[in-house]
Structure 1
Amino acid sequence: MHSHLHTKDNIGCEEIMNALDECHARGFLYKAIGGCNDIKREVNKCLSGERTKKSRKNRETALERRARIEAVWAKFDEGDYSALEQFTKSK
């Protein structure tokens, strides 16, 4: 079972996770004979998709930050240190 399934990051998978919770509520024997396996695979697929979206967003944010930093470094190389003040204020 995934830890902390019901979080703000997994809202897109809420319906499938609720179905898995309902399946698990049917009892141990039902789970033991594989009654919840298909739903579990769907949860895994959904969570993987959510993680991929989050990773893509984080990567884009990191690239934007990196571009800003490299622009400041380029100005430093030119001897213009006023960019440091602008960069620190934009945080």
Structure 2
Amino acid sequence: MHSHLHTPYNVNCEEVMTALDECHARGFLYKAVGNCNDIKREVNKCLSAERADRAKRNRDDARNKRARIEEIWARERGQDRASTSADAGSGAAANAESSGAKQ
């Protein structure tokens, strides 16, 4: 069983799929003897190429999204470090003042 052939994803294969439908419409014996096999191979080749292109686009999109997320995380880590070092710096100054007051 295969998925639906006539979808927006397979628009570039429409012509070959129509030819296969026309070949199958010639009758069961015509199809059963193997007269539509060449067209079927072309449909499979076209659908495979479309699927590969779609998978490549999805991978590229995922990589771009991941890179964007990594940048956001890096900025957040940088802000956390800056606020932590600022807190540590003000804490050290407060400790220095309090130790100076005791002497």
Q: TM-score, normalised by structure 2?
A: 0.73
Q: Which residue of 2 is the match for residue 55 of structure 1?
A: 55
Q: Which residue of 2 is the match for residue 69 of structure 1?
A: 69
Q: Number of aligned pairs?
A: 80
Deviations 1:22-60 (A, max 9, x none): 000011111111010000000000000000110111111
- Structure with bigger helix share is 2
- Residue identity in the other structure for 2:20: L
Partners of 1:4 and 1:59 in 2: CA distance: 23
- Residue identity in the other structure for 2:13: C
Q: Which residue of 1 is the match for residue 93 of structure 2?
A: none
Give every structure 1 segment of 4 or more consecutive aligned residues whose post-TM-superposition deviation is greater than 2 Å. none
Q: TM-score, normalised by structure 1?
A: 0.83
Partners of 2:33 and 2:43 in 1: CA distance: 18
- Flag structure 2 segments of 5+ consecutive residues without an equivalent: 81-103
Partners of 2:3 and 2:48 in 1: CA distance: 14
- Residue identity in the other structure for 1:73: W
Q: Which residue of 2 is the match for residue 17 of structure 1?
A: 17
Give the drift of 1:8. 0.7
SS in 2 for 1:35: coil
- Give 1 or 2 for the bigger CA radius of gyration: 2
